[in-house]
Amino acid sequence: MLAEFDLPRGETMSGFEFAFSLFGLLLGLALAEGLGGLARALKASHAVRIGWLTALLGLFVSCDVVTFWAYGWSMRTLLTFSWPSLFAGFLVTATYYIAASLIFPDDPEEWRDLDAHFWKHRRTVLGAIFLCNVALLATAIGFGVMGDMFAIRTIVISWAFFPLAIIAALSNQRRVVIGALVVLILLYPLSVLWS
């Protein structure tokens, strides 16, 4: 049964704010899932080697979740509250949650080296993050908020994400994957410094 709740006089909640509470919850759970996995891995570090690949993937996904959250809020005046937008938002935020849950194993002690876990799940995780960014980019282009899509800053910060994510997902060379993940991570502070 649905109950009615009255907000204090003069206060209203927009459709976006209502929907964003669901999306924010899922994105927050995605961050908590990644951090919880890291905490479990650190607790088991006496028996498990975490490794650079897993640590970098966790940092990359965390940065991307926070960035998606910020972009969602910045587009709040453009997004309308409707079933398609609610469902699309759910699909993207659920994808982030699933991706974050695959970064670390549920029981780290079952793996002697978490980099082996990385090699098993990296394509799923990076593919999911890739799709979330395609959805974000398509939405930004659809609303006309991309600005000059071929400006040097946009090419470096926005468009470079896609080939780097593909390289990290498909390469079998450890150094290439580490390099791609490091550059992907560096794009986030670069986007703040280069404004």
| Distance (Å, whole) CA 26 – CA 30 | 6
Evaluate whether residue 117 is within a structural domain: yes
Backbone angles phi, psi at 49, to 5 degrees: -95, 120
Closest CA to 104 of 162, 183, 24, 50: 50
Q: What local confidence, expressed as pLDDT, does residue 73 receive?
A: 83
Evaluate whether residue 91 is within a structural domain: yes
Evaluate whether residue 61 is within a structural domain: yes
In angstroms and rounded to an integer, the radius of gyration of the C-alpha atoms of the chain is 19
Give the residue numbers spanning the domain of 33: 15-143
Q: What local confidence, expressed as pLDDT, does residue 13 receive?
A: 66
Evaluate whether residue 182 is within a structural domain: no
Q: What local confidence, expressed as pLDDT, does residue 2 receive?
A: 40
What is the tally of structural domains in the chain? 1
Q: What local confidence, expressed as pLDDT, does residue 3 receive?
A: 42
| Distance (Å, whole) CA 178 – CA 174 | 6
Evaluate whether residue 168 is within a structural domain: no
Q: Can you give the pTM of this predicted structure? A: 0.87
CB neighbours of residue 63 within 10 Å: 16
CB neighbours of residue 142 within 10 Å: 10
Question: b/e for 89-101, b at 16 or more Cβ within 10 A?
Answer: beebbbbbbebbb
Q: What local confidence, expressed as pLDDT, does residue 149 receive?
A: 87
**Single-letter amino acid code for the residue at 59:** L
Residue 189 CA: distances (Å) to CA of 22, 44, 136, 195: 27, 31, 19, 11
Evaluate whether residue 98 is within a structural domain: yes
Evaluate whether residue 164 is within a structural domain: no
| Distance (Å, whole) CA 58 – CA 64 | 10
Q: What local confidence, expressed as pLDDT, does residue 10 receive?
A: 56
Evaluate whether residue 59 is within a structural domain: yes
Residue by residue, pLDDT tens for the chain (195 residues) are: 344 444 455 566 677 777 778 888 899 999 999 999 999 998 998 888 889 999 999 999 999 999 998 888 888 888 788 888 889 999 999 999 999 999 999 998 898 899 999 999 999 999 999 999 999 999 999 988 888 888 999 999 999 999 999 999 999 999 999 999 999 999 999 999 998
Among all chains, which residue has been given the structure tokens 């704010």?
Answer: 17
